[in-house]
Structure 1
Amino acid sequence: MQNKSTLQEIEERFDKDVERFSNLETGQATMLDSAFNLDLITDCIQQHYPNLSSVLDIGCGAGNYDVKLLSRVTSNPSVHLLDLSQPMLDKAKERVSPLTQGEVKTFKGDFRTVDLVENNYDVIIATAVLHHLRDDNDWETAFVRLHRLLKPGGSIWIFDMIQQNTPKLQEIIYTQRYGNFLIHLKNEEYRDHVFAYIEKEDSPRPLVYQLNLLQQVGFRQVDVLHKNLCMASYVAFK
């Protein structure tokens, strides 16, 4: 863990990548089924919360999920955008502000420590962000905080990289099959590049670990939306 990227290093990488993260058609290309999950999650939120009033997007990037969600809802929710990267926040606010009459506010920093109002959000969106957590204490602290930020009946919607519990399955699903996906996306050099920055920057945990922990910290119900190899989307209700 001591050799993993710092939050500052992660921030600096994303500062340089705003335009790539602004593409609604592809989403984040290295995330399997990225565009599919963008559509799936925002559709589920819209149908589950027809009178949606408040959204928090942690690790919002350039705001793709918020743009897509606001294209579906008519309730003009407030949208709070949180990210380590100021250029990402600037782009997200620029794109989101014209789409709702609700408050659009940005927060720069780590979602575990930024000053946010508890019991305040119908929905929290967390896509491609939790894999930056490190040890068990990090994960528990994060899930406890997210639970406290939600209103009763609120929910968190997650799409992220995961690991397998079984080492051999991790080899097959991640190294072999996800590796082949990256080769087909570009080439072997690109696969090695992606694997290198995942090893340096990310600390994904098994899906079962995360679902169990969500329930342990107080979420009353969890559900899996979609899984493809080492990527999964899932939801937890307070």
Structure 2
Amino acid sequence: MTDSARPKSSVAQIRARFDADVDRFSNLETGQTAAMDSVLAQTLLAQAAARITPHAQRILDVGCGAGNFTLRLLPHLPHREIVLLDLSQPMLDRATERIRAVSHGSIETVCGDVRELHRPDQSLDIILAAAVLHHLRTDAEWDAVFAAFHRWLRPGGSVWIYDLVTSQIPELDALQWAQYRHYLTSMQGTDFADKVMGYIDDEDTPRPLMEQLDRLRHAGFAQVDVVHRHGCFAAFGAIRTADSLA
């Protein structure tokens, strides 16, 4: 679907689109409607994170948007220390408002790009990343971000990702993109499908799911698994075990 050789939107252009789209990302019941199974996938990942990292205290939400992913986790792990990262200040403001309404844990906000984020090593227990990593461009960026996730997590910590993915089999990839267009059309019509597919072409460079799992292992995560997949969207996670300190 996407052509990694064509010029992509700049960070400023992506930020401007999200600055103007806060309300659409602020409904916990419907989730991100342009993403297949977003409510189910984030719910499953929140349950997995709480089960696998039950003593978590500090959580980083990468590309937090209006805060839905963190809000799904907080009922399982209430009143934790939350770090919110997003390109969009209006998104951060809305996420902070919504999280403060249900949690008295501390909230730190960072307006910026995950590729430029610096955190102390072994300072986090859980990392969440929903519909954000597909903005990464090069192999080096993917490897650097996954390596940073591994460094930032304490042993026993975990990372949980829900995102747009591709397939390494061309025929299957084409089928899944066609299914996704059909899904978008059934949701809100052809114009909506054209709009979403247009900004995917402009902004996004998703990678195959299996490639991302391999990159997580290469970054040092010894335990990696898929929680849910539906077409070109997948939910998956990785654990930094005590013996994976590379």
TM-score by length of 2: 0.92
1:92 and 2:90 aligned: no
Aligned-pair CA distance for 1:44: 1.5
Q: 1:34-45 maps to which residues of 2 (within 5 A)? A: 34-45=38-49
CA distance in 2, matches of 1:101, 1:145: 28
CA distance in 2, matches of 1:46, 1:153: 12
How many residue pairs align between the two structures?
236
CA distance in 1, matches of 2:66, 2:136: 21
Q: Which amino acid aligns with 1:60?
A: C
Q: Which amino acid aligns with 1:128?
A: A
Q: Which amino acid aligns with 2:66?
A: A
Q: Which amino acid aligns with 1:8?
A: A
Match among 43, 51, 54 for residue 50 of structure 1: 54
Answer whether contact 2:32 2:38 (CA < 8 A) is retained.
yes
Answer whether contact 1:78 1:100 (CA < 8 A) is retained.
no
CA distance in 2, matches of 1:98, 1:106: 16
CA distance in 2, matches of 1:220, 1:86: 35
Q: 1:105-124 maps to which residues of 2 (within 5 A)? A: 105-124=108-127
| Matched position secondary structure for 1:112 | helix
Aligned-pair CA distance for 1:111: 1.4
Q: Which amino acid aligns with 2:214?
A: N
Moved over 6 A (4+): none
TM-score by length of 1: 0.95
CA distance in 2, matches of 1:218, 1:46: 21
% identical aligned pairs: 42
CA distance in 2, matches of 1:212, 1:115: 24
CA distance in 1, matches of 2:64, 2:24: 13
Tell me which of the two structures has the higher relative contact order, counting C-alpha pairs closer than 8 angstroms and 6 or more residues apart. Answer: 2
In the alignment, what sits opposite 2:243? none
Match among 205, 219, 227 for residue 221 of structure 2: 219
CA distance in 2, matches of 1:66, 1:117: 21
CA distance in 2, matches of 1:146, 1:52: 15
Match among 201, 206, 209 for residue 208 of structure 2: 206
1:168 and 2:168 aligned: no
Answer whether contact 1:112 1:145 (CA < 8 A) is retained.
no
CA distance in 2, matches of 1:208, 1:49: 24
| Matched position secondary structure for 1:99 | coil
Q: 1:1-238 maps to which residues of 2 (within 5 A)? A: 1=5, 3-74=7-78, 76-174=79-177, 176-238=178-240
Q: Which amino acid aligns with 2:52?
A: H
Aligned-pair CA distance for 1:120: 0.8
Aligned-pair CA distance for 1:98: 3.6
Unmatched 5+ stretches in structure 2: 241-246
CA distance in 2, matches of 1:78, 1:135: 32
Q: In angstroms, what is the RMSD of aligned CA positions?
A: 1.2
Q: Which amino acid aligns with 1:92?
A: A
CA distance in 2, matches of 1:14, 1:45: 27
CA distance in 1, matches of 2:218, 2:143: 9
CA distance in 1, matches of 2:19, 2:197: 20
CA distance in 2, matches of 1:156, 1:63: 17
| Matched position secondary structure for 2:115 | coil
Answer whether contact 1:161 1:231 (CA < 8 A) is retained.
yes
| Matched position secondary structure for 1:213 | helix
Aligned-pair CA distance for 1:2: 5.3
